[in-house]
Every structure is written in structure tokens, then in C-alpha cells.
Chains A and B, each alone.
Chain A
Amino acid sequence: MNFDFADQAPKMMMLLWGLVAFAVVVGGLLFVLDAVPSYFARRREAQVLAAYASGGPSPRRTKPREGFFALFFLMPAVLLLLIGLVVPALRTTLLSFMDGGSQNWVGLDNYRWMFADDAIVRVLLNTLVWVTLVPLAATAIGLIYAVLVDKARMEALAKSLIFMPMAISFVGASIIWRFVYAYRGEDQEQIGLLNQIVVSLGGEPRQWLLDSPLNTLLLIVIMVWIQAGFAMVVLSAAIKSIPADIVEAARLDGVTPWQMFWQITMPSIRPALIVVVVTISIATLKVFDIVRTTTNGNYDTSVIANEMYNQAFRYGQNGQGSALAVFLFLLVVPIVIFQIRNLRQQRREG
């Protein structure tokens, strides 16, 4: 046994401190907001009474100040967002125009490097493949499954099975799939499911994760496996909210299931479909864990997020890492603008 409770004590102390800090900050904030205004109210009351007793003019009525409350309710969140996101994002943008050690300005060099270096161009292309295939495949599978199990027996169980990978970490999922892709020599018994299937079909076992470009596709399978459940849950809810009378009317008209799907279901769930595709696209652009755990970005499988980590935190190239981060940001922006426009349009129609 190499697990000593004494070793855990400092951590538990730290956790305790964290919880105390939480109680003090949140409880204290609410207490102050409760106590201070009522203190002033009492004082004002006393002033009014005193003024009344002495026959002088009563003090001016002050309006309860909403701004005061808003300020304190919003302060923690806004402060943290400024420190944790806004300022860092601006600084990263600046750093992307500086050299590796963040000392000298280098203009657009980092961006030029990004498109000139073959290895990085490869990374950008990989990211492109990821962001086209994952949302398409995950949404398609999620949609098909949602339609198939709609009103089926044991629907809840069927849905849980597909949704379950959502709870598994990308690291855990990567290990699960590495095991599926595991390779052993031709003369040995296979332990990876995929190679076993290939062998039993008469083929030769392969080192799945070493051959480019196949390995990128196999990593994409992992991401699809995780995200399809999310697509399925959202789309299933959208399908269930299609008004029953429309479905009934169509059924009376004798439409085939095929027509029903393309002419009733698809148009009705379009907004949900867009949300799902957009959300999965953004998640895919930022994917990091899967690549790192399976191949560590070797064998031509790296993507932007992984390369950014390598440049900034392993090779000490802050400038190049920042340029990749900014590029990632630029890729996400159009997707989000598209979504905001869509939401607006929906509101106007609705």
C-alpha cells in the first residue's frame, strides 16, 4: 500500500481553505448587501424622527439605488472575466506579433511561419478535416438514432447508451479506443477489436495509429463517438416538440416514412440542427486531449489546439503559440456570428 493519509492532509487543508474562501466571499457579499442598506435606512429613519421632533425640515428622500446592488452582484463575475479572459485574450493577440521570448516585435512573422512551414500547414489541413467530418458525422448519426428510437420500446435506455460517452473524459475515451485499435504482430493473437475483426475476415493486422492519413480518421471516430450522444439528445427533444397534429395530418395524407422525414421532420428541427452543428464544430476546433493521448500529435495527426500547446508550453515559442491561438479564435468567430444571426432570425419569426 502506497497511500498515506498524512500525504493527503495538506490537500484537504487547501480544500478547506477553498471552501472557507467560498463561504466568506459569497456569504459575506450577501450579508454586506443585506446589512449596509438596512443600516442606512435605519439611520435615515432616525434622522427623520429627529427632524420631526425638532421641527426642522425633513431630510430629502433618496431613491433606493439599484446601481449599487447591480455593481456588487456583478462584481465578482465581471472582475474574473476581465482578469481571466478579456485581458489575456488581448495580451495573446499582442504576443502573437512578438518573438518566442516575448521580447521583440516581429510583425507578421509568426503568421507567415504558420502558412510557410509544411508541418504546420499539415496541422491546419488536419484541423480542417476534423471540423468538416466530426459535426457532419456526429449530427447525422445522432439524428438517425433519434428518429429510429423515437417512441420505441425502452427509449430511455437506448438513449442512455449513446449518450454515455458524454460523461467519459476525452482522455478516458482515447484509452478506450486505443484499446480497440491495439496492434500485435501477425503471428500473435490480437487483443484489439478492430484488428481481430480484420484478421477474422482474412486480412492482416495493421498499426492503425501510425499510417497517415488513416490515423486522423480513426481519431475523428473517437470524437464522433463522444459527440453523437449530444446531437441525439438535442435533436430528439426537437423531434418530440413537433406538433402532433402536423404529424397526424401528414400520416392521414399517407406519406411514407421517408417523405415524413424529409418534408416534416427536417424542416421542423432545422434550428436545433444548426445549434448542434455549430456547438460540435466549436468543440472540435478546440480538441486537444484526444490527439495528445493517442498519438501525441505524431505521425501527421496534430491539430491546431495541440500544436499551440506544443509551441507555447514545450518549445517555449510564445509568439508562434499565440499566433496559433489567435488563428483558432478567427476560425471560431464566423461560426458564432452565423449562430447569433440565426437566433435573431428565429426570434423575429417566432
Chain B
Amino acid sequence: MTTTTPPAAVGAQQDDKGSTRASRVRKRLNSRTATVAAIVIAVVWTIPTFGLFISSFRPEAELKTTGWWTAFRDPQFTLQNYQDVLFGQNASSGQLANYFVNSLVITIPSVLFPLAFAALAAYALAWINFRGRDWLYIAIFALQIVPLQMALVPLLSFFSRGVNLGGITLMPAWNLDGAQNFAQVWFAHTCFALPFAVFLLHNFISQLPRDLMEAARVDGATHPKIFRTIVLPLVAPALAAFAIFQFLWVWNDLLVALIFAGGSEVTAPLTVRLAELAGTRGNEWQRLTAGAFVSIVVPLIVFLSLQRYFVRGLLAGSVKG
């Protein structure tokens, strides 16, 4: 790609001198249309969320009969929707407080397990010499392309029926009920997150300076010691990036939860409940808007406060390759 063509360049420069004012005006105009376009996009992107936010504080009667934009003319706000949707008495109101707890219980171990296992694996793949290392890394990397959907049916039967091979039970059925079902969801999320987690953390861990590792080895440090005392502190930003990533993914997930947590109020997370409300009570806007906001608020806080790490992780995973 040649970017400079000398004769044209000279011409352009002269031209620039000749019509400085015109070009300056044109440039300002350009940057003004650019600014306007940017603002338009930003507004279009923000308004739907903003509308939902305003709506969630409006009284039911108002919400169902007038558009949320009328709230500026005639402001009436209430916390009743949140009160109803979180702690309501009847079953149809949402009772989201309960599901909120479920979401938390699902998310915390589902972030910790893949984080630890992937960090261990990534370290081994980057800094321990053994045969077949590259092949294993490529295999794990390639597993990213297996769509979740391919694993669902067999994994579910693995939980409910165990593993039988030629009449011998290799692994009994899990037979979980109630709150124990969380274990299934943790397991599924951990498995599904690993290929990407290993890939992302490997990118960081393999870039640590070789001298540092060798010096530690010469000093007689074993691999577990290097892992704990040198690698973990140095790649903390990457761990944070993945943790945020995984947190958002698990918190926002619907498919895995729907299948492995079941629809019961003991284990189902917020997303499952919300999808249910949207399906059966699609016109109860006071509940849907407040409920949607309850489900959004935690990831939004995490996201906005830790955005920098998140972006860094995103870029490490996608641009550097």
C-alpha cells in the first residue's frame, strides 16, 4: 500500500496554501457534521435504556396509559414497582429478591473455578516443558468453536443418569434436588468457559519475561511456588479482565441456567425469571421495567467501575491474537 505520491503531494500542498480559508471552513464543517452524527448515534443508543429506567419509577396506571416521555411534563415517581417486583406477595409479581440471591450463588463459584483452573493450565502450557504442549494448546483453543448447544443434551444426561459403559457404572447419577442443583450449573459454566479462559490467560502469562522465570528456576523455586509468588501477582490485571468477562457472561446467561438450573424458584437466576415474566405477563410493564432494571444494575455497576480492565482483556483476546 503506497500512501505517498510525490507529484500529487506537492500539488496538494500548494493547493492547501492557496485556499486555506476554504479548506479550514470545510474542515470545521466536516467536524461539525461528525459531531452531530456522533451525538445522534449516542442518543439512539442510550434512549431505550433511559426510557426503561424512567418507566420503572412511574406508577402502574401512568406507565400503562402514557409514554415515558410524558414524565417530563408531569413527573410522578414511585418506588412501588421495585417493592412489588422484589418482595411482592403473590406469585405473579416476580419475587425477584429470591432470584437475585440465586443469581449471586450461581455466579460466584462459576467465576472462581474457571479462573483458577484456566490460570493453572495456562501456566503449564506456557512455562512447563513437556511433550505435546503445542498440540494440547491448539486443541484447547479449537474447542472454542464447539457451540454450547452441542454439549447440552449429553451433559444433562450425564448429570441425571451418570456414566455407564458396557453395563458398568463409571459414575453414578448426581440425583440432585433443590439447592444442590447449583452444582450442575457451576459445573456447566466452568466447562464452557475454559477454552476461552485458557486462551486469554495464556496470552498474558506467556508474555512474562523469560529471564524472570529462569532466574526463579535457578534459585530453586518449584513450579507451584513460581505460579503463586511470581505469576499470579503479575497477571492480576488479566485475571481481573477474565473475571469481569465471566461475571457478565454468567450473570447474563439464559440458556445454561434454563437447562441446568431448572425453572424452580430455588435455583433459577434472574434471567430465567425475567424471560418467564416477559412471556406470560408481557403487558405488565410496571413489573417488566423494574425487573429488567434489577437484573441490569449489578452487571452495570461491575462494568462501569471495572471497564478499563474489561476493555484491556477484550483487546488482548481479539486484537493481538
Contacts and interface: CB of A to CB of B under 8 A. Distances in A.
User: Is chain B a partner of chain A in the same complex?
Assistant: yes
B108 A18 contact: yes
A113 interface: no
A172 interface: yes
Given A70-B128, A164-B49, A313 B154 contact: no
Interface string A319-350: 00110111011001100100000010011000
A233 B311 contact: yes
A180 B150 contact: no
Contact of A74 (B120, B149, B292): B120
B51 A180 contact: yes
Contacts of A66: 128-130
Contacts of A38: 222
Contacts of A346: 321
Contacts of A80: 117, 187, 190-191, 194
A19 B108 contact: yes
Given A169-B252, A254-B16, A73 B223 contact: yes
Contacts of B227: 30, 73
B123 interface: yes
B307 interface: yes
B49 A165 contact: yes
Contacts of A275: 318-319, 321
Contacts of B105: 11-12, 14-15, 18
Given A86-B143, A169-B252, A321-B153, A22 B228 contact: no
B34 interface: yes
A309 B152 CA distance: 9
B187 A171 contact: no
Contact of B101 (A11, A69, A177): A11
A137 interface: no
A238 B224 contact: no
B3 A77 contact: no
A238 B315 CA distance: 9
Contact of A325 (B87, B147, B267, B275): B147
B140 A81 contact: yes
Contact of B116 (A26, A148, A254, A318): A26
Interface in A1-37: 1-3, 7-8, 10-15, 18-19, 21-22, 25-26, 29-30, 33-34, 37
Interface residues of B, number: 133
Interface string A61-87: 000001101100110111011011111
A124 B150 CA distance: 17
A119 interface: no
B81 interface: no
A69 to B, nearest CB: 4
Given A169-B252, A175-B292, A161 B46 contact: yes
B319 A191 contact: no
Contact of A289 (B13, B142, B255): B255
Counting chain B CB atoms within 10 Å of each CB, the highest count among A66, A152, A191, A308 belongs to A191
Contacts of B5: 253
Interface stretch (A48-56, A89-97, A103-111, A126-134): A89-97
A85 B195 contact: yes
B38 A158 contact: yes
B238 interface: no
A218 interface: no
B164 interface: no
Interface in B157-213: 158, 178-180, 182-183, 186-188, 190-192, 194-195, 198
B54 to A, nearest CB: 11
Given A22-B112, A67-B130, A254 B13 contact: yes
Given A84-B187, A254-B13, A158 B151 contact: no
A15 B109 contact: yes
Instruction: Sort chain A's interface into a size bin.
Output: 35 or more
A2 B89 contact: yes
Interface string B245-272: 0001001111100110000001100010
B180 A14 contact: yes
A215 interface: no
Given A11-B267, A144-B37, A152-B35, 14 more contacts: A7-B98, A14-B105, A21-B109, A22-B116, A33-B223, A78-B121, A161-B42, A169-B296, A171-B275, A178-B288, A254-B13, A293-B254, A332-B145, A343-B321
Interface of A: 1-3, 7-8, 10-15, 18-19, 21-22, 25-26, 29-30, 33-34, 37-38, 66-67, 69-70, 73-74, 76-78, 80-81, 83-89, 91-93, 95, 141, 144-145, 148-149, 152, 158, 160-172, 174-180, 182, 188-193, 196, 225, 228-230, 233-234, 237-238, 246, 249-250, 252-255, 257, 263-264, 267, 271-272, 275-276, 279, 282, 285-286, 288-289, 292-294, 296, 305, 308-309, 312-313, 318, 321-322, 324-326, 328-329, 332-333, 336, 343, 346-347
Interface of B: 1, 3-5, 8-9, 12-13, 15-16, 27, 30, 34-35, 37-38, 41-42, 45-49, 51-52, 55, 63-69, 86-89, 95, 97-98, 101-102, 104-105, 108-109, 112-113, 116-118, 120-121, 123-125, 128-131, 133, 136, 140, 142-155, 158, 178-180, 182-183, 186-188, 190-192, 194-195, 198, 222-225, 227-228, 248, 251-255, 258-259, 266-267, 271, 274-275, 278-279, 282, 285, 288-289, 291-292, 295-296, 299-300, 302-304, 307, 311, 314-315, 318-319, 321
